[in-house]
Amino acid sequence: MTMPPGVRTDYQGDLLRRVDARTRGRRLRWFDIVLGIVLIVFGVLMLAPLYWLISTSFTVGSEAFTEPPKWLPIPFTVQNFIDVFEYVPFGQQFLNSVLLAVIVTGGSLTFSVLAAYGFARVAFRGSGPLLVVMLSALMVPAQLVIIPIFIMMRQLGLVDTLAALWLPALVNVFQIFFLTQYFRTIPRELDEAAKIDGAGHLWILFRMLLPLAGPAIAALAILSFEASWNGYFGPLIFLSSPENMTLPLGLVVLQQGFGAAPAAVVFAAITMVVTPLLIVFLIFQRQFVASVASSGLKG
C-alpha cells in the first residue's frame, strides 16, 4: 500500500530522529574538542610564568634573563636556594608565616563557626541589625583602622610580634556572613529532630552542621590561609626585626636590603613561598570546587 505524499511512517520518523541525534552528537563532540583546545591554550598561558619562575630558580644567575628565555634549567643548580638562607633568616621567617597562617586560619574559623551558628540558628533580639552592622565593617578599608589598631597593640606591648597580626584577624566578618548564609540553607527540621533526642547546641553544631558544611569550611580555610600567607600590609606596619618578619616582607628585604640578592636567588625564595600555597590548594581543591558549585546551585 502506497502512503500519501507528505506522510511519514513510524520507521521514517525513527530514522530521521536517529540521524538528527547523530548530527547533534557530532556537533557536541566538535564543540568539546574546540573547547578543550581553548582551555589547554589558556591553561598553558597561565602556567607559563609559574613554570618560568621555578625553572629560573634552578638556573645559574648569569643565565636568568637570557633572550630568548630558557625554559629548561640549564645549567642546573640548587645553589640559589642555599644562598637565600645566607641573605635573610628565611627559615625563621618561613616558620613565622606557617605559625601565623595556622593560628589565623584555625582561630578565625572557630570564632566564625560559633558566631554564624548564633546568627543562623539561635533567635535573639537584634540579630538582624547586628549582622548588618558587622557587614558594614567590610566597606571600611583596612588603611583607615590600622592606626587605632597600631596604637592599641603598642599599648599592649605587642608591636614587632606575631600577636599583633593574628589577634585582629581572629574576627573575620566575611567568614561569619558566609557561614551564616550556608547554615541557613540547611533545613531546620534536622535541628528539631536532634533536640527531640536531647541534643544541645554544641552537639548540633559540631556533629551535624559542620559535617554538612565541610565544603564551605574548606573553601574558607583556603582563602584564609592564602590571605594570611600572602599578607604584606600588616607585617609592614607591625614588624621590624628580620627574625620576626613573615615571608612576604622578607622577600622585599631580600630584594632591596642587605645589598640586594641576585634575581635568581629572589626567584628561588619566591618558589619556596609559593609551593606551600600550591600544596594547600591541591589538598583542598575538591572541597573548594564543591563549595563554589553548591553555593551557585543554592543561589
Range with lowest mean pLDDT among 78-92, 139-153, 218-232, 248-262 = 248-262
Contacts of 51 (CB under 8 A, 6+ apart): 71
Q: Taking residues 72-80, what's their average pLDDT?
A: 81
> Can you give the pLDDT at residue 263?
79
> What is the spatial distance between Cα 298 and Cα 239, in angstroms, rounded to a whole number?
42
In angstroms, the CA 179 to CA 200 distance is 20
Asked if 57 and 81 count as a contact pair (C-beta separation under 8 A), the reply is yes
pLDDT, position 162: 93
CATH tag, 87-298: 1.10.3720.10
- Give the pLDDT score at 94: 92
Question: Contact 255/71 with Cβ under 8 angstroms?
Answer: no
User: Where do the domains of the chain lie?
Assistant: 10-57, 87-298
Of 134-138, 139-143, 280-284, the one with minimum mean pLDDT is 280-284
CA 167 to chain centre: 21
Q: Report the C-alpha gap between 63 and 76 in whole angstroms.
A: 10
User: Does 262 or 39 have the greater pLDDT score?
Assistant: 39
Q: What is the mean pLDDT of residues 109-116?
A: 93
Is the pTM above the cut of 0.85? no
Per residue in 25-69, pLDDT tens? 666 677 778 888 888 898 888 888 888 888 888 888 666 667 777
pLDDT band at 261 (very low <50, low <70, confident <90, very high): low
